[in-house]
């Protein structure tokens, strides 16, 4: 009896905490950056004056193509650009077929407060139809996987270059999941081919 009560309390607490999460970030395609920003600003104005949020509003899509920008609710923007498969240096670690899949991750703090971005520079990368996890790769000779994010001040932009071991045959179906700038938001997911 005590175990079932404790289990019920734990489940209710978990459900209560999950209800506190922020909405998903928004995606802004690279080619429509200016037009989407104007539409978002115009759409956001009436929502701020409304007493209650609309029940009919669909959740924001947090899935983007490589090169698109994802904006979190707090104004932090992240873009992942696929740089393709690059030859690994002599002392590289984690290369597959002597190549490293290279990505630039750019974070811009469009919010009002600084934040610690170190986890945003360590994305979870998967590839292929079955979503196999890619191993992190470092190549100091080519400056891949060496830099990391630090505290990002309001208005500041930082970029890091990361690498992962991905077989060339699987490079058409790659998924990069970047941790949100805080623990309440959902991560940004970038997908596509890196060839």
Cβ 149 vs Cβ 160: under 8 Å:
yes
3-class secondary-structure state, position 188 = strand
Going by C-alpha positions, the residue among 28, 63, 37, 188 that lies closest to residue 117 is: 188
Is 14 contained in some domain? no
Is 176 contained in some domain? yes
Is 2 contained in some domain? no
Is 141 contained in some domain? yes
pLDDT at 23: 54
In tens, the pLDDT along 56-74 reads: 444 456 789 999 999 999 9
Domain that holds residue 109: 24-192
Going by C-alpha positions, the residue among 83, 115, 112 that lies closest to residue 99 is: 83
pLDDT at 14: 44
Is 152 contained in some domain? yes
Q: How are the residues of the chain apportioned to helix, strand and coil, as percentages rounded to the nearest 5?
A: 25, 35, 40
- Mean per-residue pLDDT for 111-120? 96
Mean pLDDT computed over every residue of the chain: 81
Is 17 contained in some domain? no
Across the beta sheet with 63-65, the strand order is 63-65, 188-192, 174-178, 124-127, 132-133
Is 119 contained in some domain? yes
- How many structural domains does the chain have? 1
User: Residue 168 sits in a domain of what CATH number?
Assistant: 2.60.40.1240
Rg (alpha carbons) of the chain, rounded to whole number = 19
Return the residue matching tokens 């899509």. 61
3-class secondary-structure state, position 146 = coil
158: confidence class by pLDDT, cuts 50, 70, 90: very high
The larger pLDDT score, comparing residue 21 to residue 119, is at: 119
- End-to-end Cα distance, the chain: 58
Is 16 contained in some domain? no
């Amino acid at each position: 009896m005590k175990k079932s009560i404790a289990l019920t309390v734990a489940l209710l607490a978990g459900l209560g905490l999950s209800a506190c999460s922020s909405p998903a970030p928004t995606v802004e395609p690279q080619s429509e950056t200016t037009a989407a920003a104007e539409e978002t600003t115009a759409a956001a104005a009436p929502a701020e004056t409304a007493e209650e949020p609309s029940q009919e509003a669909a959740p924001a899509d947090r899935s983007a193509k490589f090169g698109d920008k994802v904006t979190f609710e707090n104004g932090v923007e992240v873009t992942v650009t696929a740089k393709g498969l690059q030859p690994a240096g002599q002392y590289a670690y984690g290369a597959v077929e002597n190549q490293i899949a290279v990505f630039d991750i750019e974070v811009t703090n469009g919010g009002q407060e600084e934040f610690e971005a170190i986890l945003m520079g360590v994305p979870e990368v998967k590839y292929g139809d079955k979503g196999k996890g890619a191993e992190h790769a470092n190549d100091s000779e080519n400056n891949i996987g060496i830099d990391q994010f630090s505290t990002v001040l309001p208005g500041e932009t930082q970029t890091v270059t990361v690498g992962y071991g991905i077989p060339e045959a699987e490079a058409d179906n790659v998924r990069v999941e970047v941790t949100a700038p805080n623990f309440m938001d959902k991560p940004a997911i970038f997908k596509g081919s890196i060839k």
